[in-house]
Amino acid sequence: MADNSTLDYKATGQYVLTVQVSDNGAPSLSDTAAVTVDVAPMNRPPQIVTVGEHWAVKGEQLSFVVSAFDPDVPQQTLRYSLEPGAPAGAAIDPVTGLFSWTPDSSAEARSYTVDICVTDNGTPPLADVVKMAINVAEPLGAADSRSLLDVPAAESHWYALSTVREGFLTAEAAYAGTGSVSMAIYDDQGQPLASSTGSAGLARIDIPAAAGEAFYVKVATTASAVDLSLANLVSQAGGTLAVFGTGADDAFTFDASGRRISINGLVYQFTAAEATNVTFDGGPGNNAATLKGTADSETAKLYPGRADLQGAGYEVHVVNTASITFDGNGGADQAYLNDSDGDDTFVARLGDCMLSGVSSAGIGYSSRALNVARVNALGKAGGRDVAEFHEFAGSTFVRRGSFANLSGNGVFYEGKFFEETLLVTLAAPDDPGGSGGKTKTPPGKSQTLTAAEIALIDQAIVEGAPGAAKALDRDGEAACPPGLLRMATARVFAELGRSA
């Protein structure tokens, strides 16, 4: 080889050199010898190539292979190990690099840092150490709705869940006082999908999701306590908006003025074009729905467990809901309250009418109309039904057999086909109580007359006995010991000159 050449162990691991030595005598003498040089490679440290984040769910095994390579030729033997501080139960195969860990129920749902080491068998042995993040999530399963209250301050909280239907996946974190909150949603491969940083005490994310899709949710907060809500209860396509209840008790509201809905406290805002047909299916549970109209005219039809509301450019349908309220919110609104086949009670007060009861199957319900100009209650599905009207200043009460109504101040409340009709009157100014309280008429109204007698009374009124009809209304409704209605009936027919 030439002078100043580099010994290249990759080209050959052994060189034979001829060394010559000469003296300066006369004559000069010399000698040569062959020198064999074995070139050993320089040991270089191995390198781990698989780094990054991994996700684990409490109670489920996490496993992955750590890959590393040795740059030396020939490659040396590598062995894997975990540095001190690794989570309890975590292990790595020293030969294959297979890492495994099953976080148990006592593990915190947070991010862990694991130091993984790979060492060669060189002289001296060299190593490479990398830090690997493992995010341990609290399993929520297939979640249509979850509420996690008072989440404490921490660098990270992780949750794993899957959706139950196609629609929005909503994550909302609410907090009070000082501090901050940030959230992020990842897919099942750990790819970030959306994030939000809290502002004015609220951080929120809404993303579209398919049914059965898996996600991770991360919450990082410095606030002392955060209330986290996760929901998959709303879907929207075109002008159709569908809202679903859970297996528990649910509360749904719809405000037509702003096309705003709320389900269990989570509020969603839509345009008019996105919410022309809205449905709410409460599912199991003791559910409640409130439907609020606009200043225009709307018509609501309420039945035990369901309702239909129609207004300008929209309609709402509610099913599987025990308690339903329609708030007219102005305009010439009309509400129809339909009874069950059990015993029902209709109560009409100024601005507030409600029909409630229990069906023959033992299912309770309430249908309420607030701020509605005209309310019609029907008691014809069966059972023993009672209509109770509460007088107000300037009101007029009229009863004709099984039909009764209370009107005045721009409202008209009517009850039809009720077995019993009651009137709650305003106390006279000189009432001994002195406070203008209310007095309820005793029970035993129209049910004290037979159907034939009621028909005769209605016929007498039609034939023209206004004075006697008035007497019947006053006497018959003001007090009802048994037989008093019959006395009033006799008075009607006496005026007409016939026998009762």
CATH number of the domain within which 182 lies: 2.60.120.380
Residue 51 sits in the same domain as residue 133: yes
The answer to whether residue 73 is domain-embedded is: yes
172 forms bridges with which residues in the sheet? 204, 229
403 forms bridges with which residues in the sheet? 400, 416
Residue 132 sits in the same domain as residue 51: yes
Residue 8 pLDDT class (50, 70, 90 cuts) = low
Above 60 in pLDDT, residue 192? yes
Residue 495 pLDDT class (50, 70, 90 cuts) = very low
152 forms bridges with which residues in the sheet? 225
Residue 130 sits in the same domain as residue 51: yes
Residue 177 sits in the same domain as residue 224: yes
pLDDT in tens, 12-36: 767 788 888 888 888 888 888 888 8
What's the CATH number where 63 sits? 2.60.40.60
Above 80 in pLDDT, residue 112? yes
Residue 128 sits in the same domain as residue 206: no
Average pLDDT, the chain: 86
pLDDT in tens, 32-76: 888 887 776 688 999 999 778 899 999 999 999 999 999 988 889
357 forms bridges with which residues in the sheet? 344, 365
Chosen domain end from 103, 120, 137: 137
Residue 205 sits in the same domain as residue 224: yes
Above 90 in pLDDT, residue 4? no
Which H or E run includes 155? strand 145-162
The answer to whether residue 149 is domain-embedded is: yes
The answer to whether residue 101 is domain-embedded is: yes
pLDDT in tens, 400-425: 888 999 999 999 999 999 999 999 98
Kindly tell me the sign of the dihedral angle through the C-alpha atoms of 223, 226, 230, 236.
negative
The answer to whether residue 260 is domain-embedded is: no
Residue 84 pLDDT class (50, 70, 90 cuts) = very high
Structural domain count, the chain: 3
Q: What six digits make up the tokens of 108?
A: 């915190």
Chosen domain end from 137, 152, 179: 137
Residue 8 sits in the same domain as residue 51: no
The answer to whether residue 344 is domain-embedded is: no
Higher pLDDT among residues 461 and 322, named by residue: 322
Helix axes 466-478 and 484-496, enclosed angle (nearest 10): 180
Residue 148 sits in the same domain as residue 213: yes
Containing domain of residue 105, as a range? 47-137
Residue 121 sits in the same domain as residue 153: no
Chosen domain end from 137, 154, 182: 137
pLDDT in tens, 127-172: 999 999 999 999 999 999 999 988 888 888 999 999 999 999 999 9
Phi, psi of 460 (to 5 degrees): -60, -40
Above 70 in pLDDT, residue 197? yes
pLDDT in tens, 272-301: 999 999 999 999 999 999 999 999 999 999
The answer to whether residue 329 is domain-embedded is: no
pLDDT at 200: 81
The answer to whether residue 242 is domain-embedded is: no
The answer to whether residue 239 is domain-embedded is: no
Residue 153 sits in the same domain as residue 132: no
pLDDT at 456: 54
Above 50 in pLDDT, residue 350? yes
pLDDT in tens, 215-245: 999 999 998 889 999 999 999 999 999 999 9
One-letter amino acid at 468 equals A
Residue 101 sits in the same domain as residue 179: no
Q: How far is the C-alpha of 486 from the C-alpha of 499, rounded, in Å?
A: 12
Residue 225 sits in the same domain as residue 152: yes
